[in-house]
């Protein structure tokens, strides 16, 4: 089960954290992995790890928020079976203290970046007779999280775009779902703790761990395993759905 032999898979942000774990797992399952990354050094590191293990992967330096770069990159890749929109950035703030510049930066990467990849991949998937798209939302799309105004906006948009694409391309044999992780321990989390809570890192790490009722943060590998299932043929009956992977965050936090 869950084999992806010779499937062509595009993973955005595959140089770090969840995207890196997905790239490694998908390659282990036989996929030909294409990593689209702003950080080409990080992409090269993931590619090297996959190749050392005997897998197939290529990195592409590309900013997903730039449509021309995305279109050019997808043209280089050619045939695609699976797209995972994973690249994303964090932001801390409320509606009354988020600057226009920060709001637009989060929108451009998290929302427009996903749109740019959808725009580029759908004609390719249609020409291929179908395929799978997995978007990365967050629990912030469905629960009010303190101080995450712009980020929640972007992840709510991801959920809505998932429903729209799943509906519009149902009869083109394209399945489209999203996942909603709670806190997953990645460089993304370490980075925003360091930037926003300097000097209180250990205390905030503990607080963020406890905010999942299960008592810890998730692991990138656990998210990658869910992504593998949703992108595999075994999940052929699943489309237009959001999958929380959250240690009980949404339903057990009372
Ligand atoms: N870590 C969490 O707790 C958590 C929780 C819920 C959702 N998510 C979502 O999961 C996804 C991955 O998160 P992560 O924790 O692995 O992050 P990460 O920061 O470890 O990795 C993200 C990768 O995306 C790349 N990237 C950023 N902007 C880009 C751009 N404009 N173009 C191309 N690549 C770009 C970065 O270079 C980085 O390698 C994000 O969409 C994030 O919002 C993360």
Asked whether 63 lines ligand 1 (CB < 6 A), one says yes
pLDDT of residue 192 exceeding 90, the answer is: no
Q: Decide if 238 is inside a domain.
A: yes
Contacts of 176 (CB under 8 A, 6+ apart): 132, 133, 134, 135, 162, 165, 166, 169, 239, 240
Average pLDDT over residues 118-133: 98
| DSSP labels, 12-72 | ETTTSHHHHHHHHHHHHTT-EEEEEES-HHHHHHHHHHHHHTT-EEEEEE--TT-HHHHHH
Q: Decide if 253 is inside a domain.
A: no
Q: How far is the CA of 171 from the centre of ligand 1 (A)?
A: 31
Nearest CA to ligand 1 atom 18: 188
Q: Decide if 204 is inside a domain.
A: no
Helix (H) or strand (E) holding 191: helix 187-196
49, 94, 124, 163, 201 from 230: Cα distances, Å? 24, 33, 20, 15, 34
The answer to whether 113 and 92 are in contact (CB under 8 A) is: no
**Greater confidence, 191 or 75?**
75
Mean pLDDT of the chain: 97
Q: How far apart are CA 126 and CA 124, in angstroms?
A: 5
Number of domains in the chain: 1
Atom of ligand 1 nearest to the CA of 65: 31
Asked whether 183 lines ligand 1 (CB < 6 A), one says yes
What's the token pair of residue 74?
A: 């997808």
226 pLDDT tier (thresholds 50, 70, 90)? very high
Average pLDDT over residues 191-207: 91
Nearest CA to ligand 1 atom 41: 88
Strands 56-61 and 242-245, sheet pairing? unpaired
Average pLDDT over residues 60-88: 98
The answer to whether 214 and 249 are in contact (CB under 8 A) is: no
Tallying the residues shown for the chain, one arrives at 254
254 pLDDT tier (thresholds 50, 70, 90)? confident
Q: Decide if 15 is inside a domain.
A: yes
| Residues acting as catalytic residues | 151
pLDDT of residue 228 exceeding 90, the answer is: yes
**What is the value of pTM for the model shown?**
0.97
**Greater confidence, 71 or 196?**
71
Give tens-digit pLDDT for 137-161: 999 999 999 999 999 999 999 999 9
Q: Decide if 191 is inside a domain.
A: no
**Count of Cβ atoms closer than 10 Å to residue 191 Cβ:** 14
Q: Decide if 198 is inside a domain.
A: no
Q: How far is the CA of 14 from the centre of ligand 1 (A)?
A: 8
Domain membership of residue 167 as a residue range: 8-184+219-247
Asked whether 177 lines ligand 1 (CB < 6 A), one says no
Asked whether 138 lines ligand 1 (CB < 6 A), one says yes
Domain containing residue 28: CATH number: 3.40.50.720
Q: How far is the CA of 20 from the centre of ligand 1 (A)?
A: 10
Atom of ligand 1 nearest to the CA of 223: 10
253 pLDDT tier (thresholds 50, 70, 90)? confident
pLDDT of residue 32 exceeding 90, the answer is: yes
pLDDT of residue 39 exceeding 80, the answer is: yes
The answer to whether 153 and 95 are in contact (CB under 8 A) is: no
Cα Rg of the chain (Å, integer):
17
Atom of ligand 1 nearest to the CA of 136: 41
Contacts of 126 (CB under 8 A, 6+ apart): 169, 172, 174
Helix (H) or strand (E) holding 243: strand 242-245
Q: Decide if 130 is inside a domain.
A: yes
Average pLDDT over residues 31-36: 99
Q: Decide if 78 is inside a domain.
A: yes
pLDDT score for 241: 98
What's the token pair of residue 63?
A: 């900013």
pLDDT score for 68: 98
pLDDT of residue 188 exceeding 90, the answer is: no
């Amino acid at each position: 089960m869950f084999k992806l032999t010779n499937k062509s898979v595009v993973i955005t942000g595959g140089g770090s954290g969840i995207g890196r774990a997905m790239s490694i797992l998908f390659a282990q399952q036989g996929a030909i992995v294409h990593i689209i990354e702003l950080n080409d050094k990080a992409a090269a590191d993931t590619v090297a790890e996959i190749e050392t293990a005997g897998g197939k992967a290529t990195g592409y330096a590309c900013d997903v928020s730039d449509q021309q770069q995305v279109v050019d990159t997808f043209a280089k890749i050619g045939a695609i079976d699976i797209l995972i929109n994973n690249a994303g950035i964090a932001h801390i703030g409320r509606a009354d203290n988020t600057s226009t510049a920060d709001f637009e930066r989060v929108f451009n990467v998290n929302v427009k970046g996903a749109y740019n990849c959808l725009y580029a991949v759908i004609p390719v998937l249609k020409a291929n007779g179908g395929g799978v798209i997995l978007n990365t939302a967050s629990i912030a799309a469905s629960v009010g999280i303190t101080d995450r105004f712009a980020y929640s906006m972007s992840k709510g948009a991801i959920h809505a775009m998932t429903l729209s694409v799943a509906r519009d391309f149902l009869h083109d044999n394209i399945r489209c779902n999203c996942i909603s992780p709670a806190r997953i321990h990645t460089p993304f989390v370490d980075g925003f703790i360091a930037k926003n809570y300097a000097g209180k890192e250990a205390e905030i790490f503990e607080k963020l761990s406890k905010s999942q009722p299960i008592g810890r943060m998730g692991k990138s590998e656990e998210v990658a395993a869910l992504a593998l299932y949703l992108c595999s043929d075994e999940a052929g009956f699943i489309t237009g759905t959001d999958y929380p992977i959250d240690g009980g965050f949404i339903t057990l936090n009372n």
